[in-house]
Amino acid sequence: MIQKYKEKLSESKGRKNYIDEQMSLKLKEYDRLIGFQEDLQQAQMFLQAVAQKTQEQLKYHIRDIVQLAIDTVFPGECEFDIVFEIKRGKTEARLIFLEEGEEVDPLRDNAGGFVDMASLGLRIASWSLGETRPVIILDEPMKNLDKNKRLFGAQVIKDLSTELGLQFIIVTHDSEITNVADKVFEIQRERKGGYLISIGG
């Protein structure tokens, strides 16, 4: 009887030792995972700080170019800004237009010209950020500007082309804009279904 108790006691001690060893291993693994989690949190904080700094630099670079484009045609009339927002786990940039400190809808009738010039500024800013060919294609770039501003906007594009060494390819129905172009390709659709291309300028 005493022998049985001794065997059970010895067996229990063996199980306890095994459990203690496993507990020790698990605690070490737990400590390792906690350290790993802290490292991940620090890395995430670092990445967020870098991302925020990059966003700020991009914001100022893009905002300055776009504001300059708007101010050439609408001096002091509209302020452009970029707001970075996190949605669905991703950072999105929201472009805003302000008049007298109030946000305005850029697609309303009298703000369309702001959008045209902002669009031109965004294209220039985008081109300046990368190593791409010096060619920008614009489709009806001045469609929301009135006649006088349209001619001025076309001259701005011409000046940008000269100053930055950029080639602009412009698709337009507006013959006034083509007055500042170096070369004009006029495409007309023929009744037979083909196209007629004439070169001028």
User: Tell me: the pLDDT tens digits for 116-136?
Assistant: 899 999 999 888 887 778 899
Residue boundaries of the structural domains of the chain: 1-38, 49-200
* 49-200: CATH topology: Rossmann fold (3.40.50)
Vertex 31 angle, CA 14 and 35, to 5°: 165
Cα–Cα distance list, 199 to 10, 99, 178 (Å)? 102, 42, 12
Q: What is the pLDDT of residues 88-99, one digit of tens each?
A: 777 788 888 988
pLDDT: is 165 or 109 the higher one? 165
Q: What is the pLDDT of residues 15-55, one digit of tens each?
A: 877 887 888 888 888 888 888 888 888 887 787 777 777 77
Q: What is the pLDDT of residues 139-193, one digit of tens each?
A: 988 888 888 888 888 888 888 888 888 899 888 888 777 878 888 888 777 766 6
Compute the CA torsion angle 160, 161, 166, 172 (nearest 10 deg): 100
- Cβ neighbors of 94 (< 8 A, separation 6 or more) are 82, 83, 84, 85
